Structure 1
């Protein structure tokens, strides 16, 4: 019976939590907090990275 192979894996840098919203401590006029949305630089916000075997095969 064939096994399903995973072509992508969870990013090691962010563990799959690719984006974060960080509050700056200040507030808008309507009372909501000012937030910065930051994406993981390793996976560019996708939460996944290609398997290492595929990277070696391309290079």
Structure 2
């Protein structure tokens, strides 16, 4: 029996599938480690993929 093929997910074009990053600020904390900011992609909100765009419906006038 065959298995259904999973629908491929679209990789986010802004983050290219790497939605979460850690950025060092350059300052050091009291224990000597660097302070970091954890930032999520704005477009996919940290998921790494986007949904397919809605199909565009064009209104064509009928020619007589």
- TM (norm. structure 1) is 0.76
Quote the RMSD (CA, aligned, Å): 2.2
Residue correspondences, number: 55
Q: Distance in 2 between matches of 1:49 and 1:9?
A: 6
Highest Rg: 1 or 2? Answer: 2
Distance change in 2, residues 1:7/1:56 (3 Å): farther
The runs of 4+ residues in structure 1 deviating greater than 6 Å are none
- TM (norm. structure 2) is 0.71
What SS does the corresponding residue of 2:21 show, helix, strand or coil? strand
Q: Structure with the greater relative contact order (CA < 8 A, sep ≥ 6): 1 or 2?
A: 1
Q: Mind listing any 5+ residue stretches in structure 1 that lack a counterpart?
A: none
Aligned-pair CA distance for 1:48: 0.6
Aligned-pair CA distance for 1:39: 0.4
Per the alignment, residue 29 of structure 2 pairs with 28
